[in-house]
Structure 1
Amino acid sequence: MEKLLRGICDFRRNKLPALADRFRRLADDGQKPDVLFFACSDSRVEPSLIVSTDPGELFMVRTIGNLVAPASDDGVSVGDVSEASAIEYAVHILGVKHIVVCGHSRCGAMKATLAGREKLTAAPNLAAWLAHAEPARERLARSPFISEALPPEDRLSQANVLVQLDHVATFGGLHDLVHGGKISLHAWWFDVATGDLYVLDEERGGYILLDEAEAERVLSGRAAIHHTHD
């Protein structure tokens, strides 16, 4: 807590002056983010730092395992409605054009999924929540592009990103919006040990390191890093 309190003082003294005008504009004009970003609650993953965004540019949801409970046939979440409401707000109110699900290496949620949720006797809510990661096992079995050289939890994590994007697409007419080209879904994966970010390129069949050369490929239209609902 001491670090947080001193950090607030440092922010006010050294960073806020340069951001004061931006905060005033955001207060007056509201937010206009282009991206809805789902990330894990893991403290080692800091999306705004990784993608170098300023306040107002990223609409973010963080959950254990970057999991999103899917919608039932009537469009209501089968789990916590928090993620569902964030999707509906981002798509229908804010008008975002991109939705990213970003997994990461050494994810504790993936380790717990592999170990078996029945071991989480002291955390029944966590065990129930991790049920939304179970389909990643089957997805991994039919995802030959996920490297076998990765540790088991990292392989499951990359497959889990695809499952959660499928869950996202069950809400609010998103399936039609994606196939109509109005919203793009993106599968990203962050390596905590190296700080590298990988993006799924379906045309090349795997997760590709997003370096400057790859970024230029994407921006020029020579690479597609989007995920299509499976």
Structure 2
Amino acid sequence: MRKLIMGIVEFREKMLPQYAKRFSKLALAQTADALFITCSDSRVVPDLLASTHPGALFTMRNVANLIPPATAEGVSTGDLSEASAIEYAVLVLKVANIVVCGHSECGAMKAVYTRNAKLKAPNLDKWPYHANNAAFRLEHEGPLDDRLKPHDQLSQLNVLVQLEHLMTYPIVRQQVTAGALVLSGWWFDIATGDMY
């Protein structure tokens, strides 16, 4: 906790003066250009990776950057928080881009790949269900890059599957079809710092 508090002090002393005008403007409204969907992993820092400033990214994070698909009516088949973030970004913020960003050495992808459920955590055990299509593809269609470790291959395929899940949301599909929204899949290699 001390480290976090010292970080706040440092922010106020060193960073806030640089961003004071920007925060004053952002206090009135946010105008994010993109919805950035990524993993909760502490090694993935969206604003740092994209070299953006406060207000540029509307960020949604969860374990393994998963997006439960929607029904034909647009209702999430899983947790509503992801669907709500998508709706808010598209309908209210009118973002022009949605990025799904996976990463190397993802613990959730390792668990899906090895079908490892050692933890007695009922929610965490069920959550990676939304990556099962990626696991099926890896098993039956093969990897995108066979030089990678199997769980990293799965992580890359998972990004593509989550993009497909995004397209099950009518509001996303309509905006993409109209040319008002672009979906992108990124994959961050933590060891090298490369983005694919």
State the TM-score, normalized to the length of structure 1. 0.81
Contact 1:104 1:189 in 2 (8 A): yes
TM-fit CA distance, 1:121: 4.8
Unaligned runs of 5+ in 2: none
1:178 alignment counterpart: 176
Q: Partner amino acid for 1:10?
A: E
Residue 59 in 1 paired to residue 62 in 2? no
2:20 alignment counterpart: 20
TM-fit CA distance, 1:143: 5.9
Distance 2:136 2:174 in 1: 25
Quick one: which of 114, 122, 125 aligns to 1:124?
122
1:78 alignment counterpart: 77
TM-fit CA distance, 1:111: 0.4
Residue 162 in 1 paired to residue 163 in 2? no
TM-fit CA distance, 1:172: 3.5
Distance 1:74 1:176 in 2: 13
Structural RMSD (CA):
1.3
Distance 1:161 1:14 in 2: 36
- Which whole-Å deviations, capped at 9, do the CAs of 1:112-155 have from their partners, x for residues lacking one? 001215x24501101111100111023334366x1111000000
1:211 alignment counterpart: none
- Which whole-Å deviations, capped at 9, do the CAs of 1:170-213 have from their partners, x for residues lacking one? 11432232133221100100000011111xxxxxxxxxxxxxxx
Distance 2:21 2:185 in 1: 34
Distance 1:93 1:177 in 2: 13
Distance 1:21 1:121 in 2: 46
Q: 1:143 to 1:186 in 2, by over 3 A?
A: farther
Contact 1:139 1:163 in 2 (8 A): no
Contact 1:143 1:159 in 2 (8 A): no
2:151 alignment counterpart: 153
Distance 2:127 2:74 in 1: 19
1:112 alignment counterpart: 111
Aligned residues: 195
- Which whole-Å deviations, capped at 9, do the CAs of 1:28-81 have from their partners, x for residues lacking one? 2x1111100001000111011111111110000000000111112221111110
Q: 1:39 to 1:147 in 2, by over 3 A?
A: same
SS of alignment partner, residue 27 of structure 2: helix
Distance 1:15 1:94 in 2: 26
Structure of greater relative contact order (alpha carbons < 8 Å, 6+ residues apart): 2
Q: Partner amino acid for 2:84?
A: S
Q: Partner amino acid for 1:46?
A: V
Unaligned runs of 5+ in 1: 199-230
Contact 1:120 1:126 in 2 (8 A): no
TM-fit CA distance, 1:24: 0.4
Contact 2:31 2:56 in 1 (8 A): yes
Runs (4 or more) in structure 1 with deviation over 4 Å come to none
